[in-house]
Amino acid sequence: MCAESTPSVEGSTTDPALVRTLAAAGLPTTGRFLPKAGWVSRVWVGDEYVVRLNNGRFRDAYRHEATVADLLTDSEVPHARILAHGDGPDGPWSVSERLPGRTLYDAWPMADLHTRRAIIESLGLALRALHRVPAPVGPLPPWLADALAGKSWPAFHPPVVGAALQQVEAARRRPGHDPRLLADVADWIRDRLALFATDELVLVHGDLHGSNVMVDKGHVTGLIDFAEALTQPADVELDTILRWCAKARSTHPPPMNRGSTRPHSSRFPDGCTVRTRSCSRATICANG
């Protein structure tokens, strides 16, 4: 999510959909709310609450996120509590508590080296806590359940280790594919699947990038948007965050920044080292 150039609503909410959602959640329908852009939601950020209204894509996303949030109760994972969610005349909605600070995407460009290292260390602690949360295998995010059933698989979503070869087979059904290239890809995957065979399946965030991490004064105050959380080997978490580290401006940019050509300094490498091992796993650590 990223702020649009829309003024905040002072004193009372004026958007009928926002008023209806607050009323459905049993919350006051007055206050100050700042509309923001979201990938699949209309979003309003208030002094205490964040209100999201689904635009019709992935209608069960909030229900899945609430299920994951229940798993985080009493854990050491910093996260935004889901206060209420449901379905209404305007579509699925969710209300969560507002966390202090700014998104990592917004905070990173102005952070000095010391602050950046502190953020990285704090993020590592948050992820270790997340990966220790006992989690059953499933439930699956709604988009993933559809993808595993043979429907489209958006490229920007995190990989599922056990379904990697399934994606090669799907590519082979597409017209104009390169058979030799796909054969090489399939061999490459088979050679590496054994590396994950003994991994413990843990709860992963599934969409870990700068817009889904809240930070304040060098500390991660919370991970947000667990709509894509699932159980996978912990290494899978790095697929998204390392892509964002390398190309913060073009990988998962906030909606208002898509297509932007302005200079951006939010890349991780000057405060963080990315090391990739020959087995195609990766670790992230602070310079020093």
| Cβ atoms 224, 212 nearer than 8 A | yes
Query: What pLDDT, on the 0 to 100 scale, is given for residue 185?
Result: 95
Contact 50, 98 (CB under 8 A): yes
Q: Is the pTM of this model over 0.85?
A: no
- Compute the distance between CA of residue 92 and CA of residue 266 in angstroms, rounded to an integer: 33
Tokens of 160: 């599922």
Peptide bond into 179 cis (omega under 30): no
What is the pLDDT, as a whole number, of residue 252?
59
Q: What are the C-alpha distances in Å from 3 to residues 66, 91, 97? A: 24, 22, 17
Residue 212 and residue 96 in contact, taking contact as beta carbons nearer than 8 Å: no
First to last CA, the chain: 32
**What is the pLDDT tens value at each position of the chain, 288 positions in all?**
444 333 344 434 679 999 999 999 999 998 899 998 777 789 999 999 999 999 877 778 899 999 999 999 999 999 999 999 999 999 999 999 999 999 999 999 899 999 999 999 999 999 999 999 988 776 778 778 777 777 776 655 666 888 889 889 888 988 999 999 999 999 999 999 888 888 888 999 989 999 999 999 999 999 999 988 999 888 888 888 888 887 766 655 566 544 433 333 434 443 343 333 333 343 333 333
Pairwise CA distance, residues 67 & 218, whole Å: 29
Predicted local distance difference test score (pLDDT) of residue 154: 64
* pLDDT confidence of residue 135: 81
pLDDT at residue 36 in the model = 85
- Per-residue pLDDT tens for 50-83? 999 998 777 788 999 999 999 999 999 999 999 9
Q: What angle do CA 13, 15, 17 make, to 5 degrees?
A: 115
Q: Which among 48, 10, 8 has a CA at the least distance from the CA of 30?
A: 10
| Strand ranges (E), the chain | 2-3, 33-37, 41-46, 49-54, 82-88, 91-97, 102-103, 201-204, 213-216, 219-223, 230-233, 272-276, 282-286
Number of residues in the chain? 288
Q: Which of 179, 158, 154, 157 is nearest to 168 (CA)?
A: 179
Sign of the CA dihedral running 60, 42, 224, 152: positive
CA distance 141 to 58: 9
- Contact residues for 145 (Cβ-Cβ < 8 A; gap 6+): none
CB within 8 A of 253, min separation 6: which ones? 105, 260
Residue 9: the pLDDT is 42
What confidence score (pLDDT) does residue 77 get?
Answer: 97
